[in-house]
Each structure stands twice: as C-alpha cells, then as structure tokens.
Amino acid sequence: MSDTPGSASTLGRAIINKYPDIESKPLDGNKIELIVPPEKIRDIVSLIDEQVSDALPESLFGIDLTENKYELIYIFWSHANKMLLQLRVHLEGEKPEIESVCDIFPGLEWHERETHEMFGVNFKNHPDLRLLLLPDELEGKFPMRKSFVTDRSRMDETGLAQPKSRPESGGESS
C-alpha cells in the first residue's frame, strides 16, 4: 500500500510538492504528521478532502504550551488507505486566531466550538461559536488553559464557604 493514490507517503509528497513550506515528520507506520502554518490550514484541509475521498475528521483539539503558545492538532483517518493523518498548527498570542474548516468537514464544527471555549482560539468564519459544554459563567475563562488554576485560591469565585483553616498547633504537621 506504499504507493497507492492517497496513501500516506503519496499524500505527504503531494502536499509538500504543492506547499513547500510545510514540514513533514518521518512516517511512523501508517501515521503521517505535517506541521502546517496557520494561514495554510484551509488549503491543506481542502487538499485532504480532494485527495482522500473517505477522510474521517476524527478529532481537533488544542494544547496549551504556556507563555501564549498553543498547538492545534487535526486528526484524520482514512479507512481505505489505513492512514492516520495528523496536522499540527502552532499558534501564538493572547487570542490566537485561525480559519475555520467546518464547511469542508462539518464534523469538526463542534470540535472547533469546544476548542474555542476551552482554549480561547478564535475560529474565523465559524457559523456558531456559542458555548458548547461550559456553563455561561465560565465564558471567556478558557478553563483548559494552564493559567486557569483549579485549586483553593479561586474559592471566592464559587461563592462557597471558605474551608476552615487548620489549627496552628496540634493535629498532623503536614
């Protein structure tokens, strides 16, 4: 299956021939990984849609690398070619932006909504960027960012009673 149209190496070569500034990581079995600049994402995804007829948009999610650096990972799976395609996009900034691809793959619409509410990544031209999973009071807080702490320091935001502080002497010394 190494050179059938749409297989991992052919697709990788086709993409790199067309867009030379895209890096490709070495093949790992049936897995191909491309590092895509953010402005090229629509071109690459529509190329995948053309080249791989049965691409399944499996997943899209963000990673917070701290210091305002983010990564987006797009995962596609092709049953006919037994190929796992992973696109990696580096984003930077307080409010990173990227083009939405949900008109090409409708299945990514909700993944983009989730990434938007969880990481604050703005998907341009997305039809519907309402909150998906979060309650209204967490809008704009982006809870999956590493800067969103979940320990006791944010107790007063919840409106719950403060836990009693431990006595200075007596009891465990931990």
Binding another protein (rule: CB under 8 A), the pick from 50, 54, 97, 139 is 54
Tokens 């983010």 found at: 70
Does 59 contact another protein by CB under 8 A?
yes
Q: How many CB atoms lie within 10 A of CB 125?
A: 10
The rounded Cα 49 to chain-centroid distance in angstroms is 19
Does 19 contact another protein by CB under 8 A?
no
Instruction: Pick between residue 40 and residue 113 the one whose CB is nearest to another protein.
Output: 113
Q: How many CB atoms lie within 10 A of CB 18?
A: 11
Name the segment binding another protein (CB under 8 A); options: 6-14, 35-43, 99-107, 160-168. Answer: 99-107
DSSP 8-class letter at 50 = H
Q: Cα separation of 118 and 145, whole Å? A: 7
Binding another protein (rule: CB under 8 A), the pick from 14, 27, 75, 129 is 75
Does 64 contact another protein by CB under 8 A?
yes
Does 27 contact another protein by CB under 8 A?
no
Length of the chain: 174
Using CB atoms within 10 Å of the CB of residue 45, give its burial: 0 to 12 exposed, 13 to 18 middle, 19+ buried: buried
Question: What residues make contact with another protein under the rule CB under 8 A?
Answer: 30-31, 54-59, 61, 63-64, 73, 75, 77, 79, 82, 84, 86, 105-111, 131-135, 143-144, 150
